[in-house]
Chain A
Amino acid sequence: MDRKNRRRGNLGLAVAALLVALPFLPLFLWSFAGEWRFPALLPTGWSLRGFQALAEPGSRVIEATINSLVVGGAATAASVAVGLPAGMALGRYEFRLKGLVVFFVLLPILVPPLASTMGVHLTFIRLGLADTAFGVFLVHLVPTVPYTTVILASVFAERGVELEEAARTLGATPWQAFLRVTLPGVAPGVAVAALFAFLVSWSQYILTVLIGGGNVITLPMLLFSAARGSDPVLTSVLALIFVLPAILALVAALRFLKAGDAKKKQEGLLGLGKVS
């Protein structure tokens, strides 16, 4: 009975895996397709044309990749730096208006940042921040900071303060206790939060278009214009490059998740990442 259930479960899992893999199938095939006319089920010729096109100087892929990495890296660093103390406050302490603070910090995850960014655009133009990478970095903080704050709040909430208090009893200064005990303890959580922030920034399209004004080209912008064009080869190659960090992050995150019963909570948190 139990074995039968398990077999059925694993069959279901195979179906799920197939459905999950389905959209990647044409992406892989098109990336290496030389010729693939309509009724053919598989490409009738193979080539690396898409990859070669991207390597050409005029393709702007290198520039876009660098921009995406720089903006994403900066947004990650800043949102972890901002989310760490806030997460500590929310995860460790009970205080008046805490519910309101949580609501306020979470709001940019559910209320589309597009609305606030259109509002802030005029001010950015006046301050000379529009059309600059720095301006793009600033608006990317709107969706990234809530994630790092929420993830780190749950990390701090789970850990408790006992170890730190023990360190204090043994004569450590508050700063020593934080640096030697607290920080190493939350390091895996910080890594997860950083991965998240990076992916959220990496995936931004419309905020970058609005504030970057076409001056700051990032990978999703190239992918978008390719997808609106008529070359599935180029589109697919760009999509594969664009998706690479997400795959790497997934592998890394699954490694973190192996550890014990923090798992369930992390799964829920990872789920939040879809809102990117």
Chain B
Amino acid sequence: MGRRVKITLLLAPALLVVSVLFAGGLSAAVVQSLGYLPAIGRTEVSLDAYREVLGSRDFLDSLLLTVYVAGASTGISTVLAVLSALALRNSAGRLSAAIFQLPVTIPHLVAAVGIALVVSQTGLGARVAAALGLIGEPSEFPALLFDRHSIGIILTYVWKEVPFITLVALAALRGVAAELEEVAQTLGANRWQRFWYVVFPVIAPGVVAASLIVFAFTFGAFEVPYLLGQTYPTILPVMAYNEYRSIDLSSRPAAMAINVLIALITALFAAAYLRLGRGLGRG
């Protein structure tokens, strides 16, 4: 059997699944976003849905919220993760792996429910505040769920993603960075110089790649904002879903147009992630 034939055959099942169910689904979304829906007698193709979506106030609000939530979650997670990796580099390896692996493995839904029971106005945080005499009534505790600033959503993401990025940074730090840092110290570099010129360049590629994954994920994720988010504006995937569920089938092209835009934006991040991976030399 020729080598090329063998590789093709080995790849065929996976490519078939991704092509039919994923790429096929996205293509169908594109077609429907263009207004082609024979099921309801619409066969003209136009960019009306995109014009409508991109020109609407709702979409703009939703896009801004999505960028804000994904950006804040990613930014906060990345900074906290680098700091905790630096703080924990000397701790017991296996123990830290176990502790950080836990949030990474826990489903987002459980994380959201747990965080909600901590930060709600009758939650654990409010009870501690009451015990300390800071508040008397639940309503005096700041509203952190279903709120304008999406604090509950961001807290859930931070709880989930800080450990993920920390693990990536720790893996880099425990490798070559420790030795290089010692050399730098011997050569007289101070703490800041050692961080900026030695440690940072070593952990940066992994941390940036992990942050890209986190941004793409939080940009397109549905569950946590659907559970803990406010009613308006909603995050883009929730907006697409609400449009999709609407009884009025004529709003379907708009729902699909939002989907296509989400897919395009997240695909850009995927490409950046892979490009970064290749630039670093695979394996």
Q: Which residues of A contact B (CB under 8 A)?
A: 2, 5-6, 8-10, 12-13, 16-17, 19-20, 22-27, 30, 38-41, 81-83, 85-86, 88-90, 93, 95, 99, 101-120, 122-123, 138-139, 141-142, 145-146, 149, 157, 199, 202-203, 205-206, 220, 223-224, 227-228, 232, 235-236, 239, 242-243, 246-247, 249-250, 253-254, 257-258, 264, 267-268, 270-276
Q: Which residues does chain B contribute within 8 Å of A203, judged by CB atoms? A: 107-109
Q: Are B113 and A107 in contact (CB under 8 A)?
A: no
- Binary CB contact string for chain B from 247 to 283 against chain A (1 if under 8 A, 0 otherwise): 0000000011001101100110111011000100001
User: For the complex, is B187 an interface residue (Cβ under 8 Å from A)?
Assistant: no
Among the interface residues A8, A23, A258, which one has the most CB atoms of the partner chain B within 10 A?
Answer: A23
Q: Which residues does chain B contribute within 8 Å of A258, judged by CB atoms? A: 94
Given A116-B29, A250-B102, A254-B101, do A107 and B15 touch, yes or no (CB 8 Å)? no
Determine how close the nearest CB of chain B comes to the CB of A88; give it in whole angstroms: 6
Q: Which residues does chain B contribute within 8 Å of A272, judged by CB atoms? A: 213
Q: Which residues does chain B contribute within 8 Å of A118, judged by CB atoms? A: 25, 29, 240-241, 244, 255-256, 259
Determine how close the nearest CB of chain B comes to the CB of A53; give it in whole angstroms: 17
Given A26-B117, A111-B220, A243-B107, do A9 and B18 touch, yes or no (CB 8 Å)? no
Determine how close the nearest CB of chain A comes to the CB of B92; give it in whole angstroms: 7
Q: Are B17 and A141 in contact (CB under 8 A)?
A: yes
Q: Are A86 and B92 in contact (CB under 8 A)?
A: no
Give the nearest-CB partner of A196 in chain B: B105
Q: Which residues does chain B contribute within 8 Å of A25, judged by CB atoms? A: 118, 124
Q: Which residues does chain B contribute within 8 Å of A95, judged by CB atoms? A: 4, 7
Give the nearest-CB partner of A19 in chain B: B159
Q: Are B91 and A9 in contact (CB under 8 A)?
A: yes
Q: Which of the segments B44-52, B53-61, B82-90, B193-201 contacts the partner chain?
A: B82-90
* Bound-state Cα–Cα, A20 to B98, Å: 11
User: For the complex, is B62 an interface residue (Cβ under 8 Å from A)?
Assistant: no
- SS of B interface (majority): helix
User: For the complex, is B168 an interface residue (Cβ under 8 Å from A)?
Assistant: yes
- SS of A interface (majority): helix
Q: Are A108 and B22 in contact (CB under 8 A)?
A: yes
Q: Are A116 and B26 in contact (CB under 8 A)?
A: yes
Q: Are B17 and A115 in contact (CB under 8 A)?
A: no
User: For the complex, is B230 an interface residue (Cβ under 8 Å from A)?
Assistant: no
8 closest A-B pairs (Cβ-Cβ)? A23-B114, A116-B25, A119-B29, A112-B220, A9-B91, A120-B25, A86-B14, A26-B117
Q: Are B18 and A85 in contact (CB under 8 A)?
A: no
Interface size range of chain B in the complex: 35 or more
Taking A114-B220, A115-B220 as known contacts, 20 extra A-B pairs with beta carbons closer than 8 A to each other, sorted by chain A number, are: A9-B89, A13-B92, A23-B118, A41-B131, A82-B14, A86-B14, A110-B216, A110-B217, A115-B26, A115-B259, A142-B18, A142-B22, A145-B17, A145-B18, A227-B113, A246-B107, A254-B94, A267-B101, A271-B210, A274-B161
* Bound-state Cα–Cα, A4 to B95, Å: 18
Q: Which residues does chain A contribute within 8 Å of B105, judged by CB atoms? A: 199, 246-247, 249-250, 253, 270, 273
* Bound-state Cα–Cα, A90 to B39, Å: 41
Q: Are B102 and A220 in contact (CB under 8 A)?
A: no
Q: Which residues does chain A contribute within 8 Å of B100, judged by CB atoms? A: 16, 20
Q: Are A111 and B18 in contact (CB under 8 A)?
A: no
- What are 8 A-B contacts with C-beta separation under 8 Å? A10-B91, A23-B111, A26-B124, A27-B110, A85-B11, A113-B22, A115-B263, A120-B28
